[in-house]
Structure formats: C-alpha cells, structure tokens
Structure 1
Amino acid sequence: MTRVSEHLNQALHDLMEFDPAVHLLGEDISDPYGGAFKVTRGLSSRFGSRVRSTPLSEGAIAGVGAGLALAGDKAIVEIMFSDFVALAFDQITNFAAKSTTMYGRPVPVPLIVRCPTGGNRGYGPTHSQSLQKHFIGVPGLSLFEMTPFHDAAELFARMFSLDRPCLFFEDKVLYTRHMYRLDDLFRFELAGDTARVFLDGTAEPDCTLITHGGLVHRTLDAMRALLLEDELVCELLVPAQLYPVPHLPDLEEARHVCVIDDGTEGGTWGAEVARVLYPRLWSGLRRPITLVNSADSVIPAAPHLERDVLVQAGHIQTAVREALS
C-alpha cells in the first residue's frame, strides 16, 4: 500500500513531467534532502532549475511563487511547517489573492501553497498548529486539504484549474498513513468532492460526522468505539475542499451533525461549515450542530499534555454521546 507522502511525491513528479510551466519552491526541498518530510524527494534531480531551495523567508517564497503565477507560469511553494505560513500572510492575502481581480480584469494566479500541518508529534507550540481558520473568507483564496481518500494528482490539477491561489494543507501524521486503507468494518465512496465512510447495510446513521483530512483516523477510531460501546451508528464525510465549503451530500435526512476540526476554538472551519449547513438543514435538525475543536490553548510538547489540547478520538466519542443522550 502507498503511504500518503509517497502518493504526494508521485503526484508532484507526474505533474511536473506533464506541465513544464510548473515550478516548485521551498526551504530544503532539493536533493539529497528532499524536504523535511521527503515529499519533494527526487524532484530537483529530475527537473533541475524548476525546483529551487530557497532562503528561510516564507514571505519571499510566497511572493516569488505568486510573481511566477502572475507572470504566466504555475507555482507550488512549500511552507516547511504550516505554522510559518503566518509569515507569508501578507503575500498570500494582500498580493496573491487580490491580484486575481484588482487590475480591472480577471487575472489568473495559479499558485498552490503546500502547508504541512497539525500536531500529535511532540513538536510543541510553534510547529504543531492547524491554521486553516485564519484564511477562511479571504476573497480570491481557496483552501484544500489532503485526505487518505482523494487522489493528489487530481487535487493539484483542480487547484490549478481555478486560476486562483490555493492553500493545500497536509497533516504531518497523515504522511505515514496508507492511502485508501480501511478495516473490514467500514466502506467508503467518493461523491464528487467528498469522501463518505459508512457502515454497510445501515439505513440512517444516528450521527453524521464531518471532518478534514488530518482528523480522519481519529474520527474513525471514535466511530468504531461509538458503534461497539454505545451502539451508535455514524457516517463520516470528508471534503477535500475546505473553503468555499462545497455541497456536502446526503445530509437532508441526517439525525444529527457533528463537525470536527483540529483548529483551536473560536472562528473555526467547523463553525463555517455549520453556518453553511444551518439554512439547508434547519427544518429537519433535531438538535444544534455539534462542534468539536482543539482547546483554546497553545500546544504543549509533552505528549500527554498535547493529547489533552488536540482533538482525540475520545473527545469525539464523548461529544457525540452527550449530544445524542
């Protein structure tokens, strides 16, 4: 089985071979190092000057990438840890995103900003965050996230086809996981943008869970526990596009909806999903949409303290059980 990091690496190889307009920029991405998480391994040896290791300046990396895109090429830039994308916030939100419309006519800006994200590795407060929420609602900017169910090559092609800058979040723990791998208990299918994981043979689940790619395995663990310990059946929806929030299928008959987000409480992606869903589901909802988030805290390096702050399977299980009690 292919691991997510290997899958991403192959998708980048295929993309750069197919499209000579694509450039790749980032810190330490060239061989022999091949990036902090080895996602860019082999690319500089194969594609030469189209792959460039850069100085340690996230603002410069994003700015040069946006400039390449604005000038007619395509750029993928890597932020070594997504925490540091805050240093590129101005270039992304005030230059790249606005450049699509501020020149009196639509201007394509095919830029992808790759952001290795998330915690559960003991990296501490400045290398473990999920900062998706800080980019929601920026005009001209789209957000995507890698999942175990979506083909990375298709996602890269889709992001470039938008002709607007996109942030692409990749959970660091997900890198070591296998693509498309589930146990015998659940099945999955793709419905457009969204992966649906469900228990075969059940009509209506007790709860529909919605989450992003990095939380898939923790949410699946919670689904198993809810089924075996509480006899509660859940289904899971995992969109690859985070913002604008896509149409999420098969929700009209949902008994309850729970949105799970690894960002800290307040102004979250989960809250944006709930905002989009409430007008659509209001007449049929039996109770408010449940939101599960990481705690309002910096992320400790000590593993036992980190687990208390970040969303874990037990937090999801408790939230669903309490909502349905």
Structure 2
Amino acid sequence: MNGRPVRVVENLNHALHESMLADSRLYVLGEDIADPYGGAFKATRGLSQANPDRVITTPISENGIVGVAAGLAMAGDAAIVEIMFGDFAGLAFDQLLNFASKSVSMYGRPHPMRLVVRCPSGGSRGYGPTHSQTLLKHFIGIPGLSLFEMSPFHDNRAVLAHMLGLGEPCVFIEDKVLYTRRMAGDGQVDDLFDYGFLGAGDTAPAHVYTEAHGDVDCLIIAPGGMAERALAAMRDLLLRHEISCRLVVPSRLYPVETDALLDAARHAAHVCVVEESTAGGTWGAEVAHVLHERLWGRLRRPVRLVHSADSVIPTAVHLEREILVQADTIVEAVLADLRGEGSPV
C-alpha cells in the first residue's frame, strides 16, 4: 500500500458494497452489472457475488428498469439503478417524472421513495454523439426529484447514504472522466490548492482555494465532473495573469444549496458558473437566477455562464475538444468577464 487515495470508481464501488451491507432491503438493478463483468465502468464489481439475490441484471429497457426500481421503493424497499450510459436516461424520463417523483406526495400523505438512478455521463472519451452527453438540465425543476453529481471531494459512501436517507428519488450524475481519477484527501488538492467544505457534513459543497479567507477576483462554481478543468484554469489564471479564484463544487445540484453559494459569492468580484451541458434551461442558469435575485445590488456584472457548444458531440478527439468545455474555455471566460466583455451570442 502506498497510501495514495483510491480512484473515484473504487470509492463508488466501496460505497455500493457498504450500502448493501447496511440495508438488507436495498436492491441494485442495471444492464450487465453482475460479475464477472461488473458494469460497463466496473462500479458494481463484486456486488452480485456478495449479494446474489439483490443484484439484478436486467434486459435492455431503461424504462422498465427504473419502473421496477420505483416499484420496489414504493413497497418499502430501496433501489439503486445503473443506467449504462446516462444518455439513455431519457428512456426512463416518464418513470421519474410521472411515477417516482410524484409518488412522494400525491397520495395524500408523505410516502418515502428510496430510489437512486446513477447516470454515467459526459464526454472527453471519444464515445460520440449518443454516449457522451450530460442530460442534467432535463431533470431540473421536477418536484420531488433531487439531483446530485459525483465529485473527487465527496466520499461516495456519505453521498449514497445521504441520497437514500432523503426518502425521495435522486438522479446521480457521474462524469465518466472521474472514474479513473483519484479522490482528493487530507484537505490538499495539489501544491497550490487546498480544499474544505462550506458547511457541516460530508455532502456540503466543497471549497477549493489558495487562501481560505478574504476576497478574490472570481468565484467559479462547477459540478464535480468539471472540477479538474476548473482547477487547471485557476492555476493558469493565477500564475500567468495574477487573477485569484476560488472554486465551489456542490454535491447536491438541485434544489440549489443557496446559502453556501451566496456566502462564497459575497467574497468575489465576479462569478462564473461552468458546466458541460449545452446552453438553455440549465443548472447554471438556475444558480445564476439565485445569485442575481439575492446579490444583484453588489454584483459587478451578471453571472457568466460557460457551456459546451450548441452541437452534437463528435467522436474524433480533436473535434470533441472543440465542442466540450476545456480549461482554456474557462480561462477565456474569466478574462472576458474581468475585461467587461459580454457573453458571446
């Protein structure tokens, strides 16, 4: 053992094992999740050997998988679903919109629905237009449905336990680029950045900084899959341009954790929200709305939103990079904001 933090997918796998060990009524469902395959990204490796009656490999029917899982949750059990590629969560949209999320409250009394739908998402792996999308924005604003995103700062054991404890359906976005990255540990990201949490508990938003206190030029708010690119941008901005930034990475994306974001934004001259989805009706727009409404009197400029290009995602690596948000995309957005330039139309 060399003491290095485990990879994110290993942490997630441990979280799934511990969740099943802690709750004998928890089921895991999905395509090809049983051993020896253990799922397309190996997050479920070993689960079926340890829990042969509660790990269910299913036919290819996302609508059916989520429907069965929601039925288990309605009956008092708990269920975690793996959608092999998050792009296919659209096939289960009706089950989440019209069954699972509504069942929490539409029967005249609160009805716990312990359901987590895991969605491996995002590009940067050359998988092409239908296997590289981030569909988070399509689930924003559904009453009774909470949205979380995996990050290298948040222990998946705590996040999974928190989601199951909410008693309402949750969608868990897992950016595929994170699976092979290592978890952050001991409050240090690298030689330049440290991190902590904006609040009590392991699911509070993570806070990455060079100095924990005082004002900065720009606050960057980004979900976990964008953290690595945001950190690369922050390093470049500091070392090449002497622009100081902080990064906030929420675990729970919706409903927006307002207080932590407001406190962080009060100490920044500018705010930039970064996400990989295409523009229009996004999580970033919801964050901007919250900040505008509460901080309009002191913000120097409107919150800048950074998205991927309005395009399908190509398979060729060099073309994919042009479409998806990169570290230099963030750098240019922050520089433009500090120059007082408007967002591109």
TM-score class, shorter-chain normalisation, is over 0.9
Residue 190 (structure 2) aligned to one of 163, 183, 186: 183
Instruction: Establish whether residue 281 from structure 1 lines up as the match of residue 288 from structure 2.
Output: no
| 2:82 corresponds to 1:78 | yes
- Cα distance in structure 2, aligned partners of 1:155 and 1:88: 23
1:35 counterpart residue number: 39
* 2-structure distance, mates of 1:90, 1:26: 18
Task: Find the residue that maps to 1:52 and give its secondary structure.
Answer: strand
Pairwise CA distance, 1:278? 1.0
Instruction: Pick the aligned partner of 2:15 from 11, 14, 17.
Output: 11
- Distance, in Å, in 2 between the alignment partners of 1:219 and 1:7 is 22
- 1:88-139 Cα offsets, whole Å, 9 max, x none, are 0001111101111111111111100000010000000000000000000011
**Residue 202 of structure 1: CA displacement?**
6.5
1:246 aligns with 2:253: no
Aligned twin of 1:141: 145
**Residue pair 2:214, 2:267 contacting (<8 A) in 1 also:** no
CA contact (8 A) 2:223 2:251 kept: yes
C-alpha displacement at 1:294, in angstroms? Answer: 0.6
Deviations 1:145-187 (A, max 9, x none): 1100011111111111211100001110100000015211000
The answer to whether the Cα contact below 8 Å between 1:78 and 1:114 also exists between their aligned partners in 2 is yes
Q: Percent identity?
A: 60
Cα separation, partners in 2 of 1:31 and 1:95, compared to 1, 3 Å = same
> What is the alpha-carbon distance in structure 2 between the residues aligned to residue 250 and residue 207 of structure 1?
10
User: Residue 90 in 1 paired to residue 94 in 2?
Assistant: yes
TM-score (norm 1): 0.98
**Residue of 197, 210, 234 corresponding to 1:199:** 210
- Structure 1 CA distance, aligned partners of 2:266 and 2:274? 19
Segments of 4+ moved more than 3 angstroms: none
CA 1:322–1:46 in structure 2 vs 1: closer, same or farther (change >3 Å)?
same
1:322 aligns with 2:333: no
Alpha-carbon distance in structure 1 between the residues aligned to 2:37 and 2:61: 18
Matches of 1:151 and 1:173, distance apart in 2? 17
TM-fit CA distance, 1:282? 1.0
**SS of structure 2 residue aligned to 1:39:** coil
Q: Aligned residue for 1:26?
A: 30
Q: 5+ unaligned residues in a row in structure 2: which ranges?
A: 340-345
Find the aligned partners of 1:38 and 1:125 in 2 and give their Cα distance: 23
SS of the residue corresponding to residue 49 of structure 1 reads: coil
SS of match in other structure, 1:164: coil
Post-superposition offset of 1:251: 2.1
Matched-pair contact (CA < 8 Å) for 2:6–2:182 = yes
State the partner residue of 1:301. Answer: 315
Letter in 2 for 1:138: I
Corresponding residue pairs, total: 325
Q: TM-score, normalised by structure 2?
A: 0.93
TM-superposed deviation, 1:250: 2.5
SS in 1 for 2:167: coil
Structure 1 gap ranges (5+): none
Note the C-alpha offset of 1:201: 6.9
Partner of 1:312: 326
Name 2:342's counterpart in structure 1.
Answer: none
Q: 1:315 to 1:50 in 2, by over 3 A?
A: same
Aligned residues: CA RMSD: 1.0
